[in-house]
Chain A
């Protein structure tokens, strides 16, 4: 018969009793999950530039966003939240709507808390989970009709689709087009709700070129692993310098879109939810109903857009949310379908002042 060999549990002296495991695991857990993130948050100082907007390279660093949002809330009465149309995809730091308003008003009263690619479903999670510090202010939420131009962008289609900010989607909800694996979804939820993971991602994103630490230790071989970490950081957008080129130079063809009815739209509902969350935190909310480059839409789509915007304003009014319709600007103010050039932003800023949406020295709408 088979000669039974003696069972060897391990060959390294690394078997521990329950007490030993607890005596090491618990302090390590406390250190990493509680002490380090909180200590670092108080150690790291963030200086917001005057015309702050979350840098493009940090657009999915929501930990940084939450800390910047707190600082911006502390110094600005009006906070703009939206996608790249507000963030200023084709504008320099001083050319965005909040920056132009500050210049016109000769005071720092408007803050740009928009993020590139932030559709309303993502905005809802961003505000709920990372915008807790936004309280007692006037928040101007931007509704970009682009997000309801098709079931695909509305996230109501079932075909797989690479969604912007997947980390801000409901991970186990009914968004059929978002098809990440179970492990990725759990990882995203941990990043969102466990401060340590969000903080770790912040360090990787801000100081380690988005590389994971293992890669950094290998590729920056002689470097002190902690050397890239700086105490004082100034998150400043450096890539986007603005442009004078309008959409005509880009050769974008005329578009035909089938607008998703607002009553069935996932994105629209998410925008309403976002407004409700912000209001529950003592903010005054005003939704800016955006528009699309008229030069890029066929007549039918343009007519549908007008109807959609009116419907949006009506819906907001019914729900007691203040709304403002962005003026329809001529095509030459656009860089593409929904992004304005700096000259377009100037028009919008003037409009907001003229309509007394933004007022000097006042906190009220």
Chain B
């Protein structure tokens, strides 16, 4: 069930009505929240519920086992094995068998490895990491074990964020689930505001840019270098609008129910260097990898080469999290190299003297190049996109003015928000004008072709 559908609207109205009835009854509220979340998740395919339930029950038992303190490592191993085992079975099995098959073929052996026909449950990477962060948190004593299975199951399956995050932390969400949610006017207004902005990002901007990107990338040789460059530029924004739009809607829905989900995107295309970008892009995942991979490996408190190694491992694993394909691994590696080699505003004084806007543009350009590897499934295809976009070749010159203007307006808005002119954006006429424009475009441009949320595949 997608947020931008009528099914969701009907589901949410029924759910919210029941939720308001049970709001002050803790058990009833949790049962309703869990039932609603399982319905929401199982609506796509009821079989998806099985791995979710196995993950939930395993980590619930593991959390209690770790806290009891007799064999914490054993219980942690149980959690890691089951969670990552399920994730690998559904998501990575075919990747490994295909690569192994290629190796076998290269050696010349006549072995035929079976391929998996399993359907990838939507959002499995998100809820697996959310659940894993709980057991790791208990093991590292960052959070306490939960002793109420209902509450833990509701935490893992909570419908606003189960499909594509934000990947919440137990320490943030479980306390919220323990108390009667505070639902005042401000929560409802904020929730509606977030939802409108998120819907605009997805149903108008992301879907509109997708038309262009799919058209140009679908027949690269027919288009001019400028068009191919523009497709790469638009893809950077498409993926941002798509994913941050989903996050905004998820946060908006949760907010109306009285929950506070973490900010997942902090205007990432205003970043001044690559590390800054990763502090602003998909924050819940970046911070997950930072907390659970980068820091346990030693983080930045090691010798230089060890830090580089830590960064590379973290970024490559992060790339692999996105998808079981080499292009995602390469995308992660490129970001790792970028993080290591690129100058940093907070460390390199000479770089700090470069005009801020120029640093932001350079960072955006680098990120745009990496997105090409994210979008294209093979390295030669990605390199071909890059080659064509700088080769000044002729072809169809497709420059969609209206989408371009809209993207530039939004970019300028974000740059202003990130600058000392931010107060200009808080002026009521400016804010209300923006809301009117958003609603106008939603009415005029939404509907028609819908692209699947990009991050659902992860």
List residues of chain A with CB under 8 Å of any chain B CB: 1-2, 4-5, 7-18, 20-21, 23-25, 27-28, 32, 182-183, 186-187, 196, 200, 204, 211-215, 217-219, 221-222, 225
Known A-B contacts A28-B436, A215-B448, A218-B211; A4 and B401 likewise in contact (beta carbons under 8 Å): no
| B432 lies within 8 A of A20 (CB) | yes
CB distance from A68 to the nearest CB of B (A): 24
Collect the chain A residues with CB atoms within 8 Å of residue B169's CB.
2
| B422 lies within 8 A of A13 (CB) | yes
B449 sits at the interface (CB 8 A):
yes
List residues of chain B with CB under 8 Å of any chain A CB: 5-7, 10, 137, 141-143, 169, 171-172, 185, 188-190, 192-194, 197, 204, 207-208, 211-212, 215, 248, 255, 260, 262-263, 265-267, 398-403, 413-414, 417, 422, 425-426, 428, 431-432, 434-436, 439-440, 443-445, 447-449
Collect the chain B residues with CB atoms within 8 Å of residue A215's CB.
211, 448-449
| B436 lies within 8 A of A10 (CB) | no
* Cα A5 to Cα B168 with chains together (Å): 12
* Cα A213 to Cα B143 with chains together (Å): 50
- Chain A's closest residue to B398 (CB) is A221
Known A-B contacts A28-B443, A187-B6; A217 and B426 likewise in contact (beta carbons under 8 Å): no
* Cα A23 to Cα B432 with chains together (Å): 9
CB distance from A200 to the nearest CB of B (A): 8
* Cα A285 to Cα B399 with chains together (Å): 55
Known A-B contacts A2-B169, A13-B425, A212-B449; A217 and B443 likewise in contact (beta carbons under 8 Å): no
| A32 lies within 8 A of B263 (CB) | no
CB distance from B261 to the nearest CB of A (A): 9
Collect the chain B residues with CB atoms within 8 Å of residue A27's CB.
436
Contact of B448 among A9, A183, A214 (CB under 8 A): A214
* Cα A15 to Cα B444 with chains together (Å): 22
* Cα A4 to Cα B142 with chains together (Å): 11
If A1-B142, A9-B263 are given as contacts, then 15 extra A-B residue pairs at C-beta distance below 8 Å, sorted by A number, are A2-B143, A4-B171, A13-B417, A14-B197, A15-B189, A15-B193, A18-B189, A20-B428, A21-B192, A28-B439, A28-B440, A212-B447, A214-B211, A215-B448, A217-B403
Contact of B193 among A10, A186, A196 (CB under 8 A): A10
* Cα A251 to Cα B401 with chains together (Å): 51
- Chain B's closest residue to A5 (CB) is B262
Collect the chain A residues with CB atoms within 8 Å of residue B440's CB.
28
* Cα A310 to Cα B449 with chains together (Å): 48
* Cα A260 to Cα B3 with chains together (Å): 43
* Cα A7 to Cα B10 with chains together (Å): 29
Provide 18 A-B residue pairs closer than 8 Å at the C-beta atoms, listed in order of the A residue.
A1-B143, A2-B171, A11-B265, A12-B425, A14-B435, A18-B185, A18-B189, A20-B428, A24-B436, A25-B439, A187-B6, A214-B211, A214-B449, A215-B211, A217-B402, A218-B208, A219-B398, A221-B401
| B401 lies within 8 A of A218 (CB) | no
* Cα A10 to Cα B426 with chains together (Å): 13
Collect the chain A residues with CB atoms within 8 Å of residue B212's CB.
218
Total A-B Cβ pairs within 8 A: 137
| B215 lies within 8 A of A12 (CB) | no
* Cα A15 to Cα B188 with chains together (Å): 11
Best-buried of A16, A23, A204, A214 by chain B (most CB within 10 Å): A214
Collect the chain A residues with CB atoms within 8 Å of residue B188's CB.
18
Contact of B141 among A1, A23, A28, A218 (CB under 8 A): A1
Collect the chain B residues with CB atoms within 8 Å of residue A187's CB.
6, 447
* Cα A51 to Cα B326 with chains together (Å): 62
| A7 lies within 8 A of B260 (CB) | yes
Collect the chain A residues with CB atoms within 8 Å of residue B447's CB.
187, 200, 212
| A1 lies within 8 A of B171 (CB) | yes
| A16 lies within 8 A of B431 (CB) | yes
Known A-B contacts A1-B142, A20-B435, A182-B7; A12 and B398 likewise in contact (beta carbons under 8 Å): no
Known A-B contacts A5-B262, A28-B440; A10 and B189 likewise in contact (beta carbons under 8 Å): no
Contact of A15 among B172, B194, B445 (CB under 8 A): B194
* Cα A215 to Cα B211 with chains together (Å): 6
| A16 lies within 8 A of B435 (CB) | yes
Known A-B contacts A12-B197, A212-B449; A4 and B425 likewise in contact (beta carbons under 8 Å): no
| B431 lies within 8 A of A13 (CB) | yes
CB distance from B260 to the nearest CB of A (A): 5
| B435 lies within 8 A of A214 (CB) | no
Contact of A217 among B172, B208, B260, B425 (CB under 8 A): B208
CB distance from A312 to the nearest CB of B (A): 39
* Cα A218 to Cα B227 with chains together (Å): 12
Collect the chain B residues with CB atoms within 8 Å of residue A11's CB.
263, 265-267, 417
| B444 lies within 8 A of A14 (CB) | no
CB distance from A19 to the nearest CB of B (A): 9
Known A-B contacts A20-B431, A24-B432; A218 and B448 likewise in contact (beta carbons under 8 Å): no
- Chain A's closest residue to B248 (CB) is A10
Contact of B267 among A12, A15, A211, A225 (CB under 8 A): A12
Collect the chain B residues with CB atoms within 8 Å of residue A196's CB.
443
Collect the chain A residues with CB atoms within 8 Å of residue B204's CB.
214
Contact of A10 among B141, B263, B435 (CB under 8 A): B263
* Cα A38 to Cα B68 with chains together (Å): 70
Contact of B414 among A10, A12, A23 (CB under 8 A): A12
* Cα A204 to Cα B185 with chains together (Å): 39
Collect the chain A residues with CB atoms within 8 Å of residue B449's CB.
212, 214-215
- Chain B's closest residue to A32 (CB) is B443
| B6 lies within 8 A of A186 (CB) | yes
* Cα A204 to Cα B401 with chains together (Å): 20
* Cα A217 to Cα B207 with chains together (Å): 12
Nearest 9 CB-CB pairs, A to B?
A212-B448, A2-B171, A186-B6, A214-B208, A8-B263, A28-B439, A221-B400, A13-B425, A2-B142
- Chain B's closest residue to A17 (CB) is B189
Collect the chain A residues with CB atoms within 8 Å of residue B172's CB.
2, 4-5
* Cα A183 to Cα B8 with chains together (Å): 9
CB distance from A329 to the nearest CB of B (A): 44
Collect the chain B residues with CB atoms within 8 Å of residue A20's CB.
428, 431-432, 435
Collect the chain A residues with CB atoms within 8 Å of residue B262's CB.
5, 7-8
CB distance from A3 to the nearest CB of B (A): 9
| B403 lies within 8 A of A21 (CB) | no
Collect the chain B residues with CB atoms within 8 Å of residue A15's CB.
189-190, 193-194
Collect the chain B residues with CB atoms within 8 Å of residue A13's CB.
417, 422, 425-426, 431
Known A-B contacts A11-B417, A14-B197, A14-B434; A222 and B399 likewise in contact (beta carbons under 8 Å): yes
| A21 lies within 8 A of B171 (CB) | no
| B215 lies within 8 A of A219 (CB) | yes
- Chain A's closest residue to B142 (CB) is A2
- Chain B's closest residue to A28 (CB) is B439
